[in-house]
Chain A
Amino acid sequence: MADSERHPFLQGLSKHRGAPPTVVVIFGASGDLTARKLIPAIYNLSFDNLLPADFHLVGYGRKPIPDEEFRTIASNAVKEFSRRELDAAVWKRVAASTTYVAGGYDEKAGFDRLAEHIKDIEKGVGSEVQALFYISTPPSVFFPIIQNLGASGLGGRYLGKPHHSKVIIEKPFGTDLDSARALNAELRSVFEENQVYRIDHYLGKETVQDLLVQRFANSIFEPIWNRNYIDSVQITVAEDQGVGTRAGYYEESGCLRDMIQNHTTQLLALTAMEPPGSFEAEALRNEKVKLLKAIEPVALGPDKDMARAQYAAGMIGGKKVPGYLEEKGIAPDSSTETYAALRLSINNWRWQGVPFYLRSGKRMPRRVSEIAVQFKRPPGTIFPQKEGFNLAPNTLSFQIQPDEGLSLILNAKIPGLDTRTQPVKMSFRYATTFGSNTPEAYERLVLDAMIGDGTLFIRGDEAETSWALYTPVLKYWRSQGPKGMESYAAGSWGPEGADLLLTSRGHVWRQP
Chain B
Amino acid sequence: MPGIFEALPGIEAPVGAISRGLARMWEGAASEGKPSPPSEHAKAIQVNFVLHLGLNTDAADAVRQFETAVRFSRRYPSRVVVLCPLHDDTGVSEIRAKVYGECTLGKSPGDTRCCEFVMLSYPRWARTNLENQVSVCLSTDLPLYYWAHRFSEAARLADYRYLLTTARRVLIDSATAPADAIGYAWPRPENVRDLAYARLLPIRQSIGQFLSRYPVAALSTGLKSIRLGHGADVAAEARILLAWVVDRVAAAGAPAGFPATAAPGGPPGSFELSFGYDGGKAFAWKADMATGRATFDADFGTGHTVMLATAALLLPENALSEAMFF
Q: Which residues of A pack against B, CB within 8 Å?
A: 6-14, 17-21, 49, 52-54, 89, 93, 125-128, 403, 427, 429, 431-437
What A residues does B303 contact at CB under 8 A?
126
Q: Are B107 and A436 in contact (CB under 8 A)?
A: yes
Nearest CB of B to A472, in Å? 42
Closest to A405 in B: B110
Q: Are B214 and A127 in contact (CB under 8 A)?
A: yes
Q: Are A20 and B110 in contact (CB under 8 A)?
A: no
Cβ of B75 under 8 Å from chain A: yes
Q: Are A126 and B307 in contact (CB under 8 A)?
A: yes
Q: Are B213 and A20 in contact (CB under 8 A)?
A: yes
Q: Which residues of B pack against A, CB within 8 Å?
A: 41-42, 44-46, 74-77, 104, 106-108, 110-113, 201-202, 204-214, 216, 219, 248-249, 251-252, 292, 296, 298, 302-305, 307-310, 312, 326
Please measure, in the bound complex, the distance between the C-alpha atom of A6 and the C-alpha atom of B298, giving whole angstroms.
21
Nearest CB of B to A313, in Å? 30
Q: Are B302 and A127 in contact (CB under 8 A)?
A: yes
Closest to A53 in B: B309
Q: Are A429 and B202 in contact (CB under 8 A)?
A: no
Q: Are A13 and B205 in contact (CB under 8 A)?
A: yes
What B residues does A89 contact at CB under 8 A?
292
Given A20-B212, A54-B307, A433-B113, 6 more contacts at CB 8 Å?
A89-B292, A125-B305, A126-B302, A126-B307, A432-B77, A433-B44
Question: Could you jot down 21 A-B contacts, CB within 8 Å?
Answer: A6-B212, A7-B208, A8-B216, A8-B248, A8-B252, A9-B212, A13-B208, A17-B201, A18-B205, A53-B307, A93-B310, A125-B307, A127-B213, A127-B214, A128-B213, A431-B113, A432-B41, A432-B110, A433-B45, A434-B46, A435-B111
What A residues does B207 contact at CB under 8 A?
9
Q: Are A53 and B210 in contact (CB under 8 A)?
A: yes
Q: Are A435 and B106 in contact (CB under 8 A)?
A: yes
Closest to B43 in A: A432
Q: Are A10 and B212 in contact (CB under 8 A)?
A: yes
Q: Are B205 and A17 in contact (CB under 8 A)?
A: yes
What B residues does A14 contact at CB under 8 A?
326
Please measure, in the bound complex, the distance between the C-alpha atom of A17 and the C-alpha atom of B213, giving whole angstroms.
14
Q: Are A431 and B108 in contact (CB under 8 A)?
A: yes
Which 4 pairs from chain A and chain B are nearest by CB? A126-B305, A8-B251, A53-B309, A7-B212
Q: Are B106 and A436 in contact (CB under 8 A)?
A: yes
What A residues does B113 contact at CB under 8 A?
431-433, 435
Please measure, in the bound complex, the distance between the C-alpha atom of A75 and the C-alpha atom of B107, giving whole angstroms.
22
Q: Are B307 and A436 in contact (CB under 8 A)?
A: no
Q: Name the contact of B208 in the complex, choosing from A10, A54, A126, A128 (C-beta under 8 A).
A: A10
Identify which of A7, A9, A13, A20 gathers the most chain B CB atoms within 10 Å of its CB.
A9
Q: Name the contact of B110 in the complex, choosing from A18, A49, A431 (C-beta under 8 A).
A: A431
Q: Name the contact of B209 in the complex, choosing from A10, A429, A431, A436 (C-beta under 8 A).
A: A10
Number of A-B contacts (CB under 8 A): 108
Nearest CB of A to B77, in Å? 6
What A residues does B204 contact at CB under 8 A?
12-13
Q: Are A435 and B75 in contact (CB under 8 A)?
A: yes
On whether A52 and B209 interact (CB within 8 A), knowing A431-B111, A432-B44, the answer reads: yes
Q: Are B202 and A49 in contact (CB under 8 A)?
A: yes
What B residues does A128 contact at CB under 8 A?
213
Closest to A129 in B: B213
What B residues does A433 contact at CB under 8 A?
44-46, 77, 113
On whether A21 and B42 interact (CB within 8 A), knowing A13-B208, A431-B111, the answer reads: no
Q: Are B46 and A126 in contact (CB under 8 A)?
A: no
Closest to B41 in A: A432
Nearest CB of A to B312, in Å? 8
Nearest CB of B to A424, in Å? 14
Please measure, in the bound complex, the distance between the C-alpha atom of A127 and the C-alpha atom of B214, giving whole angstroms.
8
Please measure, in the bound complex, the distance between the C-alpha atom of A239 and the C-alpha atom of B243, giving whole angstroms.
55
Closest to A17 in B: B205
Please measure, in the bound complex, the distance between the C-alpha atom of A427 and the C-alpha atom of B40, giving whole angstroms.
12
Q: Are B42 and A432 in contact (CB under 8 A)?
A: yes
Please measure, in the bound complex, the distance between the C-alpha atom of A10 and the C-alpha atom of B219, giving whole angstroms.
14
Q: Are B310 and A49 in contact (CB under 8 A)?
A: yes
Closest to A432 in B: B44
Q: Are A436 and B326 in contact (CB under 8 A)?
A: no
Closest to B110 in A: A431
Please measure, in the bound complex, the distance between the C-alpha atom of A444 and the C-alpha atom of B202, giving whole angstroms.
19
On whether A403 and B110 interact (CB within 8 A), knowing A126-B305, A427-B41, A432-B41, the answer reads: yes
Q: Are B305 and A53 in contact (CB under 8 A)?
A: no
What B residues does A17 contact at CB under 8 A?
201, 205, 208-209
On whether A126 and B108 interact (CB within 8 A), knowing A7-B216, A10-B209, A53-B209, the answer reads: no
Nearest CB of B to A95, in Å? 14
Q: Are A53 and B213 in contact (CB under 8 A)?
A: no
What A residues does B307 contact at CB under 8 A?
53-54, 125-126
